[in-house]
Amino acid sequence: MAFAGKWETETQEGYDDFCKVLGIPADIIEKGRDYKLITEVTQDGDNFTWTQIYPTNAKVSNSFTIGKECDMETIGGKKFKATVKMDGGKLTTTFPNYEHITEISGGKLVETSKAGSAVLKRTSKKL
């Protein structure tokens, strides 16, 4: 249940390089650079609902069960199938263009996304 709660972005590293590798346009990168993303997580055993709310009030919500394939959607509306895995307290998901690892470290929600050599690390505090 460590992931459950409401989290707000504190820091992010590697944002520009990561977005460029994914082909996100420069104007969108600029708008999103300093977003304070809110992440709301509910957890019931291996069942999760993971919602990210952007300052523009856009949001994306995905529900999944650890180890079972599910339908997911990106903020851009791209739908895909994925299986979220749990290993050593870390959630791992393979998105269409990158791998995403989430963990709790020092009481913070730490999300690391890797696309080729580009790495985005976002750290959020619990609200």
Q: Dump pLDDT digits (tens) for 12-53.
A: 999 999 888 888 888 888 877 888 899 999 999 999 999 999
Instruction: Assess contact for 18 and 119: CB atoms under 8 A.
Output: yes
The pLDDT of residue 54: 82
* Total structural domains within the chain: 1
Residue 36 lies in domain = 5-126
| Helix, strand, coil % over all residues of the chain, rounded to 5 | 10, 55, 30
The pLDDT of residue 1: 65
CATH number of domain containing 109:
2.40.128.20
Q: Dump pLDDT digits (tens) for 73-117.
A: 877 778 889 999 999 999 999 877 889 999 999 999 999 999 989
